[in-house]
């Protein structure tokens, strides 16, 4: 899959841009969501996101086994994968060690790059802030940063999204 990686901070416009890119496509669109409703506020966010997507789009909700989820998607469909940020968090919550998370990230990035269809992958850029004070937050920041590097390596394009505006990264 020829995919674009969208990186940016929280509420930077990444997901909105991913949806705009998908709406411009002629082929089938499949939205792969990694969020889980762990509390009422997150459940409400998920509901709002579902309502905002076109009814013609298929939605696959999968918090951790994205390779299997993509295996069930038509190979030529345009895939919106939103987002790696929560996916890495979900894998950590399952108790996976760093090497396993990184291996899964690399395998998923390679799988997406080999698909005939194209798509867009969303993730938060977490390397621009302060160094987290505790080891769990540092571990998460480091893991997501390394997963993002792997996805950027295999992406056709990588865009940094800030306030709804993009900057292409080389």
Residue 49 a catalytic site member: yes
Helix 98-114 to helix 135-154 angle (10° resolution) is 20
Q: What is the dihedral of CA 9, 58, 74, 101, to 10 degrees?
A: 40
SS (H, E, C) 52-82: HCCCCCEEEECCCCHHHHHHCCCCCCEEEEE
The single residue of 13, 46, 49, 53 carrying the catalytic annotation is 49
Both tokens of residue 151? 């996805």
Indicate the helix (H) or strand (E) that contains 82. strand 78-82
75-89 as b/e, with b when 16 or more CB fall inside 10 Å?
Answer: eebbbbbbbbbbbbb
User: Hey, which residues are catalytic here?
Assistant: 49
């Amino acid at each position: 899959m020829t995919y674009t990686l969208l990186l940016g901070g929280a509420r930077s416009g990444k997901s909105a841009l991913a949806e705009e890119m998908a709406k411009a496509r002629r082929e089938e669109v499949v939205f792969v969501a990694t969020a889980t409703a762990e509390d009422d506020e997150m459940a409400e966010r998920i509901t709002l996101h579902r309502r905002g997507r076109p009814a013609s789009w298929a939605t696959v909700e999968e918090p951790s086994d994205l390779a299997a989820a993509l295996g069930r998607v038509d190979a030529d469909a345009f895939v919106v994968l939103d987002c790696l940020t929560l996916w890495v968090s979900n894998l950590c919550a399952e108790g996976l060690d760093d090497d396993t998370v990184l291996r899964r990230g690399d395998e998923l990035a390679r799988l997406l790059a080999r698909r005939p269809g194209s798509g867009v992958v969303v993730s938060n850029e977490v390397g621009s802030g302060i160094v987290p004070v505790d080891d769990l937050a540092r571990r998460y920041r480091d893991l997501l940063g390394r997963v993002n590097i792997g996805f950027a390596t295999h992406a056709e394009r990588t865009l940094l999204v800030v306030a709804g505006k993009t900057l292409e990264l080389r």
